[in-house]
Amino acid sequence: MSVDGWNTLLVLGGIRSGKSEFAESLVADAPTVRYVATAPEGDPEDTEWAARLAVHRARRPGSWTSEETAADPGRLAALIAAAGPNDTLLVDDLGGWVTVLLDPAHQPADDTATIAELAAAVRASAARLVLVSPEVGLSLVPTTPLGRAFVDALGATNRAVAEACDAVVLVVAGQPTRLKPAEAALPTVLAQAGSGPAGTPPAAPAVATAATMATAAAPVTGGAAEAEATLPEVFTPAVPPAPAADPATAGAAWAAPTMALPMVATGLVIQPGMELPMPDDYAGPQAVDRLATLDLPGAGLGVLERVVGFAAATQGTTVPAPWASVRVLLLHGDHAGGASAGATPGGSARRARQARAGKGPLARLAAENGASLQVVEAPASAAIEDGPALTLDQVESALRYGWRLAEQAADAGVQLLVLAACGAGTETAAAAVLAATAGAEPPAVLGRVVTEHGEIDDAAWMVRCAAVRDALHRTRRAPREARDILAELGGGDVAVATGVLLGATARRIPVLLDGPVGVAAGMVSRDLAGQARHWCLLPDHGGQPAVRLAADVLGLTPLVDLRLDLGEGATALATLPLLRSALALAANLPVHPSLSGEDDDEEFTEPEPAGPGPTSTEPDFTEPEPAGPGPTSTEPDFTGPTPAGSGPTGTGGDFTEPEPAGPGPTTAGPDQPVFPGPRAD
């Protein structure tokens, strides 16, 4: 589960519930941890208790240091108060601390005051603090006075510490559940009268659902609708002419603007926990299984099978079609302060102008793929080390603006969106978002700074790391809800990208992610609509550490490893022909003959024999059937006299076999003597 946005956290749980293991996992990424052990050593003859302590000690990494507070329960508050901002403390557990507190050796004492001191130290702590405590309030009231005193004191301690902590988690059977901050309740939406008279009371509140969001895109006039910003123009870059093309057309403009759709006002409220559509759970696996039945040589499509499954799930069919209409959304929004250290002044604006003119790598790749291109101006972001990047009102407007961009694409028949970005400092903002949402260390997710001349600027990298560090320290007590993260750390481009992902999910449009802004938006969108990540495909991580980490958290597996560095969005467009080819093969190849029962060989019919005996294959000749004993002649162009007796005749061409009339041979030709016997006449 996600427990992002905390500086002090209390982990509650029953015996053997897994609360200690969960608490240890929360600080596993910290470079150093001070482990505060509160339990006394116990009876030396109690081997079972000693074994429990040994298991706890064995789990601690060698880099951790240990502190003991069993001798003085008041020392725990002092340790917490003395910890600095760069320290990480793990206290395990408060049950042992209460046991020592109630020990007669430390009485008489004001237990209530001691508990209050501990809660005050937790509330004022500058360190990253995790406390573990057993939850014993769910059991029966103990029958002994000492048992009742223990559960009463521990209950009071848990309540005081929970109130002082930023977050509280209850672990039951190894499953953590967040108790504080509680999940935000769904706010209500007041329906506005589009053209009603001023002062008309609003309609009754209605809870916003996915159905209302999907159907709320009808144009409205007046009121807040006119205040919505106009969506940017959509361009369709054209493929450049070949070198041998007609000189008259060689200078034609690359990009021709397409018709911009009219402005729409969705009237939606983007809120945590939205129920948006999910891809088809059955079509994807069935489409992959279908590949095994196709007439494919070798092992098949390999990793591209995942593309077929993704397209099938998002299209809701087992035979997905290649994406015909693709739109690239290029988000341009700069980040001020240390986030953009090392960036060339005005470089991002020049990239945006290039894209509008149909020039540059992104526009040319879009032209090769027949994709339309839309350059989106996102709100500029302030320096995150000094204050919020945006106001909450700006975040709300940016989210709605991104949603409307997705709505516009869906209404235009777009089947696939590609998220791209070209702002200065986008990598830093994405690293700050990942640090806040995934607990990542800024140096681990910030890639090295490469100047436009191809040189590595380590000084600029250190400035960016310091900016993220200072921003996280500044916001260590701030809420970690999606809007708060976008306002404090993410900035305009990440906020617009988040709105695009949510709007695309609502309209069932898949999205190709390709870079830090896209994956940062994916991380933020989890708290708003967990379904959004299932509509995203990551072709390549580009060798960027932030994208790798976010892909792992979001469950996105990159398909290729091209290591292109042409700007966010370029790698997705470079791999798009490959993805389309895989879908075309999956859709058009026939089923293997062994499974279809068909034979591809030429049809052959065996002749049926006419009867017993051999047959002749010579032309114009039929072998006569013999009528009786004696030889027959087969010479052509010969006709013998027909005898007076009855008998069969031959069937050969121009030939009749005579039947002997009596004993002795006869002649078969004219002017030949006749041997003694009956006269011929």
Structural Rg of the chain based on CA atoms: 42
Contacts of 94 (CB under 8 A, 6+ apart): 38, 131, 132, 133, 134, 154, 157, 158, 161
- How many whole angstroms separate alpha carbon 303 and alpha carbon 557? 10
Supply the pLDDT for residue 661: 52
Tens of pLDDT, residues 209-257: 333 333 333 333 334 443 466 777 776 665 555 444 344 433 332 233 3
Phi, then psi, of 355 in degrees rounded to 5: -65, -40
Which alpha helices (H) appear in 375-481, and where do they start and end?
392-411, 426-438, 442-445, 458-474
| Per-residue pLDDT band at 644 (split at 50, 70, 90) | very low
Q: Are 312 and 318 spatial neighbours (Cβ–Cβ below 8 Å)?
A: yes
* Structure token pair of residue 366: 């879009």
Q: Which residues of 482-502 are buried (b: 16+ CB within 10 A; e: fewer)?
A: bbbbbbbbbbbbbbbbbbbbb
Supply the pLDDT for residue 32: 84
Q: Are 420 and 375 spatial neighbours (Cβ–Cβ below 8 Å)?
A: no
- How many whole angstroms separate alpha carbon 257 and alpha carbon 215? 28
Kindly state the DSSP code that residue 534 receives in the 8-state scheme.
G
Supply the pLDDT for residue 184: 39
Q: In what order do the strands lie in the sheet with 65-68?
A: 65-68, 34-37, 88-92, 128-134, 8-13, 167-172, 175-180
Average pLDDT, the chain: 76
Give the lowest-confidence range in 25-29, 195-199, 391-395.
195-199
Phi, then psi, of 402 in degrees rounded to 5: -65, -40
Tens of pLDDT, residues 597-607: 655 554 445 55
- How many whole angstroms separate alpha carbon 607 and alpha carbon 615? 12
Supply the pLDDT for residue 549: 85
Contacts of 681 (CB under 8 A, 6+ apart): none
Q: Are 268 and 403 spatial neighbours (Cβ–Cβ below 8 Å)?
A: yes
Supply the pLDDT for residue 223: 41
Mean pLDDT score, 4-19? 85
Give the lowest-confidence range in 185-194, 199-208, 291-300, 625-634.
185-194
* Structure token pair of residue 535: 């509509």
| Per-residue pLDDT band at 493 (split at 50, 70, 90) | very high
- How many whole angstroms separate alpha carbon 498 and alpha carbon 495? 5
Tens of pLDDT, residues 63-79: 788 888 888 888 899 99
Return the sign of the alpha-carbon dihedral for residues 204, 208, 214, 219. positive
Looking up tokens 């959304």 gives 329
Give the lowest-confidence range in 3-17, 197-211, 507-521.
197-211
Q: What percent of the chain has pLDDT over 70?
A: 73
Supply the pLDDT for residue 224: 42
Closest CA to 80 of 116, 39, 127, 33: 127
| Per-residue pLDDT band at 611 (split at 50, 70, 90) | low
Strands (E), 289-397: 326-332, 372-377
Q: Are 216 and 266 spatial neighbours (Cβ–Cβ below 8 Å)?
A: yes
Supply the pLDDT for residue 234: 74
Alpha carbon 467 to its chain's center: 29
Mean pLDDT score, 521-549? 87
Report the alpha-carbon angle 264-268-270, nearest 5: 125
Tens of pLDDT, residues 129-170: 999 999 987 777 888 888 888 888 899 999 999 999 989 999
The total number of residues written for the chain in this structure: 681
- For residue 498, the SS3 value is helix
Catalytic residue check, 427: no
Q: Are 433 and 485 spatial neighbours (Cβ–Cβ below 8 Å)?
A: yes
**pLDDT, greater one: 33 or 110:** 33
Mean pLDDT score, 640-657? 46
* Active-site residue, selected from the candidate residues 396, 568, 657, 659: 568
Mean pLDDT score, 640-664? 48
What letter represents residue 442's amino acid? Answer: P
pLDDT of 515 above 70: yes
Mean pLDDT score, 531-549? 86
Give the lowest-confidence range in 51-60, 245-254, 540-549, 643-652.
245-254
What letter represents residue 444's amino acid? Answer: A
pLDDT of 500 above 90: yes
Give the lowest-confidence range in 252-266, 436-450, 569-583.
252-266
pLDDT of 511 above 90: yes
- How many whole angstroms separate alpha carbon 316 and alpha carbon 132? 46
Count the helices and strands in the chain (H runs, E runs).
Answer: 22, 18
- For residue 341, the SS3 value is coil
Kindly state the DSSP code that residue 677 receives in the 8-state scheme.
S
Supply the pLDDT for residue 564: 76
- How many whole angstroms separate alpha carbon 176 and alpha carbon 3? 10
Tens of pLDDT, residues 284-311: 888 888 888 887 777 778 888 888 889 9
| Per-residue pLDDT band at 521 (split at 50, 70, 90) | very high
Give the lowest-confidence range in 161-165, 381-385, 568-572, 651-655.
651-655
This prediction has a pTM of 0.55
pLDDT of 315 above 50: yes
The DSSP line for 155-184 is HHHHHHHHHHSSEEEEEETTEEEEEESPPP
Alpha carbon 321 to its chain's center: 19
| Per-residue pLDDT band at 536 (split at 50, 70, 90) | very high
